[in-house]
Amino acid sequence: MSSHGTELAWLIDPAERVVLVFQCDRLPEEWPPQNPLPVLPGLSLELTPESLFRWLQ
């Protein structure tokens, strides 16, 4: 991902209520529902998959 300038990405699947997290030099991870999602440095955001899906309903 970093070769294209992207450091972090979330793939959100509302039907399955799953968030996959893509980070540089790491395999994609299915993020635990209660854990805050990783964000870019300097961004103050605390969002869990659980709260994200509640907001999307």
Cα–Cα distance between 19 and 39 in angstroms, integer?
A: 13
Between 54 and 4, the higher pLDDT residue? 54
Per-residue pLDDT tens over the stretch 3-48: 678 899 999 999 999 999 999 989 999 999 999 999 999 999 999 9
Whether residue 40 lies inside any domain: the answer is no
Distant-in-sequence, close-in-space partners of 26: CB < 8 Å, separation ≥ 6: none
Question: Which pLDDT score is estimated for 1?
Answer: 63
Whether residue 11 lies inside any domain: the answer is yes
Whether residue 41 lies inside any domain: the answer is no
Question: Which pLDDT score is estimated for 6?
Answer: 87
Domain of residue 26, residue span? 2-32+47-56
Number of domains in the chain: 1
Whether residue 15 lies inside any domain: the answer is yes
